[in-house]
Structure 1
């Protein structure tokens, strides 16, 4: 195929990709909106596609089931959080400070009323449906951010140390999401100090 034909095909594929990406984004955003509106009831695919201005044909082109859509919503949320945490950690040069930023940034997600409402909507829908909230594997990209700074502290088992910090923070996040309460500065500061002491950091 000559270069002009190849370029034409590439442009067509790029256009299709942009259209598909925009449609998926609308469906994900609509899912959050509908979940917040109908909780504790479970949203229907019809509700979601109506909110998105889409169709069932388009929905099932991208998602095999509503379960897959719910997981996609969670994964999108984790991706956004990871980007935020990376930005916060990059402000610090010392590993202990990077870990503190990670914990503070993670808990900021449940301290923000809008983010809390979205998290609760997803949590409530998955719990009410009987599917249960997915395990920590979906949050692995968050956990992986801890490995480098925890390793830099020189502990004997940095992988387990990073896992411990992650589990403590994730459990705290789940507690607040489940209760609807929000952590204050004292709550966040206490968890930071507790985790850093466990890693052998004296303040």
Structure 2
């Protein structure tokens, strides 16, 4: 999830593009609408991104980095509680993206555009799962997972899948749904490996 585009114009275009995606419930905005909302020209757009696909990829990648940064922050804030609490905090931070109204709208718009319409955007969900798995691997190891990487990736994939389900089903998960999912995944990460029986 590396962003090769920077600068003030890029930020304005990405913010305008994301705002339009959210306003249009995940539909891709037109370049003319993006540049008008950003107060820039078509020349500035194509000089910065080269194509609408490149802009969408940059928005999707930035959204994924934001989620990973938030998860990292929540896990660090729960460090004193031990590995189980760190893992719970990380999983809950992902699931909560569907519970908060504004976060849900933004995340839905980003994920709707990560669906493989461009050469790289479809890989952002994979990169998101891998980045989350990297954060979850250490607590998984501390909880005794025989294969911490695989366990962390399974938990990350499951929580991202649940997030996508809630977002695209239009459901807002309540406390009970989030706690059930998180408890289930934490128990799974800490469960004895069947191969050792």
In structure 2, which of residues 91, 100, 104 is the aligned counterpart of residue 112 of structure 1?
100
Give 1:7's aligned residue.
none
The secondary structure found in structure 2 opposite 1:64 is coil
> Which structure 2 residues correspond to residues 1-203 of structure 1 after superposition, within 5 A?
21-39=7-25, 41-91=27-77, 92-93=79-80, 94-125=82-113, 134-135=122-123, 136-139=125-128, 140-200=130-190
- Structure 1 gaps of 5+ residues are 1-19
Unaligned stretches of 5+ residues in structure 2: 1-5, 192-197
Give the conservation status (yes or no) of the 8 Å contact 2:57–2:114: no
Counterpart contact for 2:91–2:182, Cα < 8 Å: yes
CA RMSD of superposed structures (Å) = 2.3
Could you state the TM-score of these two structures normalised by the residue count of structure 1?
Answer: 0.80
Change (3 A) 1:182 1:58: same
Q: Report the count of equivalent residues.
A: 182
1:139-198 deviations in whole A, cap 9, x for unaligned?
Answer: 132332111111222221111100110111011011011112111110110011101211
Cα distance change of structure 1 residues 152 and 40 upon mapping to structure 2, 3 Å threshold: closer
User: Aligned in 2, Cα 1:149/1:200: closer, same or farther, shift over 3 Å?
Assistant: closer
Which structure's CA Rg is the greater one? Answer: 1
Structure 1 stretches of at least 4 aligned residues deviating more than 3 Å after TM superposition: 38-42, 122-127, 129-133
Where 1:90 maps in the other structure, the secondary structure is helix
SS in 1 for 2:7: helix
